[in-house]
């Protein structure tokens, strides 16, 4: 079984468990952790996660954040100055974080999203180093109705998540969905 198949299988198992009601937002977060080197293979197979979700009689909504920063930057009045002096963008990154939060909150609170919906977010690796995924999740937690599934290229070890193995990790209440050892 390859690593993506293994991750889909673990995800199916998680979906099969009863969904407790009355959980806090952070307890409704699932993080699908996988090595960054399989990012492209996983993305091509995202429809398998959607099928698994629908097979479990749940709804699916997907949000891809891969181009979120580029889209935001393209809309900035001072974008040319940022290219000339990249350090000048640092103060403006708060604006990017707010735009990102609004995008995620809109997906989580859409009319077709309810307590039976998995809102899946891919492309979080593209947010590095502009924003921390942990901060994004924390700010979105209160808006989660069903489950928030984050596709996370990185590692999970001893309760600690590390995005792209490039930044110190953080400990979070989310349920990890990880690839079992031995998957190739």
4 three-class SS? helix
Q: Is 147 contained in some domain? A: yes
pTM of the model: 0.92
What string of pLDDT tens digits covers the 184 residues of the chain? 799 999 999 999 999 999 998 999 989 999 999 999 999 999 999 999 999 999 999 999 999 999 999 999 888 887 787 778 878 788 888 899 999 999 999 999 999 999 999 999 999 989 888 888 888 999 999 999 999 999 999 988 877 787 776 665 565 778 999 998 877 6
Q: Could you tell me if residue 183 is inside a domain? A: no
Buried b (16+ CB within 10 A) or exposed e, 74-107: eeeeeeeeeeeeeeebeeeeeebbeebbebbeeb
For the record, the structure tokens of 150 come out as 């984050």
In a domain, 145, yes or no: yes
* Domain total in the chain: 1
Decide if 184 is inside a domain: no
Has residue 21 been placed in a domain?
A: no
Tell me the residue range of the domain where 36 lies. Answer: 3-15+28-178
């Amino acid at each position: 079984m390859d690593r993506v198949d293994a991750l889909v299988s673990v995800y199916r198992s998680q979906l099969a468990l009863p969904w407790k009601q009355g959980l806090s937002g952070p307890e409704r977060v699932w993080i699908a952790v996988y090595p960054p080197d399989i990012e492209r293979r996983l993305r091509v197979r995202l429809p398998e996660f959607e099928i698994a979700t629908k097979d479990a009689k749940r709804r699916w909504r997907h949000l891809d954040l891969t181009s979120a920063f580029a889209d935001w930057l393209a809309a900035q009045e001072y974008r040319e100055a940022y290219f000339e002096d990249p350090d000048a963008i640092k103060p403006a990154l708060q604006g990017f974080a707010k735009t990102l939060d609004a995008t995620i909150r809109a997906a989580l609170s859409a009319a077709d999203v309810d307590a039976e919906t998995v809102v899946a977010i891919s492309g979080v690796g593209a947010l590095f180093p502009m924003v921390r995924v942990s901060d994004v999740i924390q700010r979105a937690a209160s808006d989660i109705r069903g489950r928030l599934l984050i596709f996370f290229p990185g590692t999970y070890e001893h309760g600690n998540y590390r995005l792209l193995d490039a930044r110190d990790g953080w400990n979070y209440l989310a349920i990890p969905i990880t690839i079992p050892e031995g998957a190739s």
